[in-house]
Amino acid sequence: MPTDTFAAMRQSIIDGAPDQAGSLAKQALEQGIAPLEAIDHGFVPGMSEVGEQFAQHKIFLPDMLASAEAMKAAMGVLEPELARQGGERPRAGVVVLGTAKGDIHEIGKTLVGTLLTAHGFRVHDLGVDVTGERFAATAREVAADVVGVSALLTTTMRGQRSVIETLEREGLRPRVKVIVGGAPVTRRWAEEIGADGYGKDAQSAVALVKSLVESPAVAESDRIQPEESAVSHK
């Protein structure tokens, strides 16, 4: 893919231009570009730049919001294609995903969910601002193999710890693996809070979940039995 196109994608995010971002995403698909390539090399670098400019007070909240809208327009085109490319696969495992309490950043978490779905996992996306109790209740209801908690703010990273504590308190922890991610999250933090894994991006999240689900440490007999009630997708 020409560097110019990636540069245009990046710029459409910086400019907060949803129409432009959406049509560049469509063009990429028409040209046979892999959706993840467009996301990782075109649109995400724009978001990173926006984050840096915001930190340096060069832009303000409304600008960041406009950039997020542009990112969502691009993802709206690319994510269905990403999911479709996964095709029909045998169910690989059940994942409950959400963004920690107090945190409304959803773009990265949603991308992780889409890619997991494309790889055959059944994903229950609880959305944003999710309490530990809700993660635990859903994990129990759907017999989750893995709970994934996203946090984009240094303040809401604490929510990841509290999800683990809640799962422990409710007796679910031995049977449910917990993975964490999000821009400020590190492997070290994951270790500190006793998570089972850390993923730096959506692709590593898939590899991580695969390795955890395949791990013999989660014995079949240890799996939580699903409850009667169904959980709706968000």
Residues near 43 by Cβ (< 8 Å), separated by ≥ 6?
Answer: 9, 10, 12, 13, 21, 25, 71, 74, 75
**In the complex, what is the shortest distance from the CB of residue 224 to ligand B12, in angstroms, rounded to a whole number?**
19
Amino acid identity for residue 27 in this structure: Q
From 21, 70, 96, 111, residue interacting with ligand B12 (rule: CB under 6 A)? 111
Closest to 83 in 3D by CA, of 52, 51, 119, 47: 119
Q: Which of 18, 35, 159, 182 binds ligand B12 (CB under 6 A)?
A: 182
Nearer CB in complex with ligand B12: 27/53: 53
CB 30 within 8 A of CB 70: no
Figure out which of the listed residues 34, 83, 183, 231 binds ligand B12, where binding follows CB under 6 A: 183
The answer to whether the CB of 45 falls within 8 A of the CB of 14 is no
Q: x-or-dash pattern for ligand B12, window 10-39, by CB under 6 A? A: ------------------------------
Question: Which element (helix H / strand E) includes 96?
Answer: strand 93-99
**CA distance from start to end of the chain:** 34
Q: Which stretch binds ligand B12 (CB under 6 A): 79-87, 164-172, 198-206, 221-229?
A: 198-206
By the rule CB under 6 A, 188 interacts with ligand B12: no
State in angstroms the smallest separation of the CB of 205 from ligand B12: 4
What is the DSSP annotation of 110-132? HHHHHHHHHTTEEEEE--SSB-H
Of 77, 139, 144, 179, the residue at the interface with ligand B12 (CB under 6 A) is 179
Strands 177-181 and 93-99: unpaired
Query: Which lies closer to ligand B12 via its Cβ, residue 44 or residue 164?
Result: 44
User: Any contact of residue 54 with ligand B12 (CB under 6 A)?
Assistant: yes
The CA distance from 128 to 131, in Å, is 9
Identity of the residue, 7 or 183, whose beta carbon is nearer to ligand B12 in the bound complex: 183
Contact positions vs ligand B12 (CB under 6 A)? 44, 47-48, 50-51, 54-55, 61, 64-65, 68, 71, 102-109, 111-112, 148-150, 152-154, 179-184, 199, 201-202, 205
